[in-house]
Amino acid sequence: MESPAAPVVRALKKLLSKGSEHLINEVESFSSLVDDLRGYSWRLSWQEAHFLRCLLRLREELVDGVPIIFSVEDAERRHREVKSALFDQTCLDLKGELAKLTEKKREIQSDIKEDIAKLLEKRKILLELKSKQASLGGAIERLLEDLEMVKTCKLNIEGMCYEAEEAAKFL
C-alpha cells in the first residue's frame, strides 16, 4: 500500500532532479510542497521523515540564500551591462580621438611635403647660384688678369709718352 505522502514525495523528487538552479527559481513551489509533506509528518515512515528533515534544512537555506543569490546575480548582470556600455563608449571616444589624430597627422604630412618641396626648390636655386658663382669666379680671375695687363699696358704707354715728351723737348 502506498503512503499518503507518496505523490508529494514524487513531486519533490522531480523538482530535486532538475538541479539546484531550477530549484532556486522554483523556491515558492518547492516550499509549498515541503509544507504539504510536513502536513503528513505524523504518518511518515522513517525514510520519509529523514527526507522531510533534509528538505526542511534545504528550504531554510534556499529561503535565506535565494534573495542574496538573486541580488548578487542581478548586480553582476548590471555590472556587465555597465562595463559593456562603458567599453562601447570608450571605443567610440577612442575612434573619435583616432580620427582627430589621423587628420592632424595628414595635415602635418602635407606641411612636411610642402616644406620639402620648398627646400628642394631652394636647393635648386642654391646649386644654380653656386654654378654662377663658380663661373663668375673664373670670369673675375680673368678680369683681374686682364686688369693687370691693362695696368702694365698703361704703364708702358705712360712710359712711352714720357719718353716721347722728353724727346720732343729737344726738338
| pLDDT surpassing 70 at residue 141 | yes
Average pLDDT over residues 9-20: 92
High-pLDDT (> 90) share of the chain, %? 59
Whether 120 is covered by a domain: the verdict is no
Residue 40, in any domain of the structure = yes
Average pLDDT of 93-121? 95
**How do the residues of the chain divide into helix, strand and coil, expressed in percent and rounded to 5?**
90, 0, 10
pLDDT of residue 1: 58
Q: What is the pLDDT of residues 43-100, one digit of tens each?
A: 888 998 999 999 999 999 999 999 999 899 999 999 999 999 999 999 999 999 999 9
Residue in 59, 53, 52, 49 with CA at minimum distance from that of residue 27: 59
Structural domain contains residue 71: yes
Report whether 62 contacts 24 (CB < 8 A).
Answer: yes
pLDDT of residue 86: 95
The yes-or-no verdict on residue 139 having pLDDT over 90 is: no
pTM of the predicted protein model: 0.51
Domain membership flag for residue 113: no
Q: Which domain holds residue 49?
A: 6-81
pLDDT for position 36: 92
Is pLDDT at 115 greater than 80 in this prediction? Answer: yes
pLDDT for residue 166: 83
Long-range CB pairs of 41-44, under 8 A, 24+ apart, other chains included: 43/3, 43/4, 43/5, 44/3, 44/5
Q: 34 and 56 in contact (C-beta within 8 Å)?
A: yes
Give pLDDT tens digits for 18-33: 998 999 999 999 999 9
pLDDT, position 106: 95
pLDDT at 82: 95
Q: How many domains does the chain have?
A: 1
Q: Is residue 31 part of a domain?
A: yes
Rounded-to-integer distance, Cα 66 and Cα 23, Å: 10
pLDDT, position 41: 81
Torsion, Cα 34 38 40 41, to 10 degrees, reads 140
**Residue 166, in any domain of the structure:** no
Residue 3 CB partners (closer than 8 Å, separation 6+): 9, 40, 43, 44, 45, 48
pLDDT band, very low/low/confident/very high, at 171 (cuts 50, 70, 90): confident
Domain assignment present for 43: yes
Q: Is residue 39 part of a domain?
A: yes
pLDDT, the chain, mean: 90
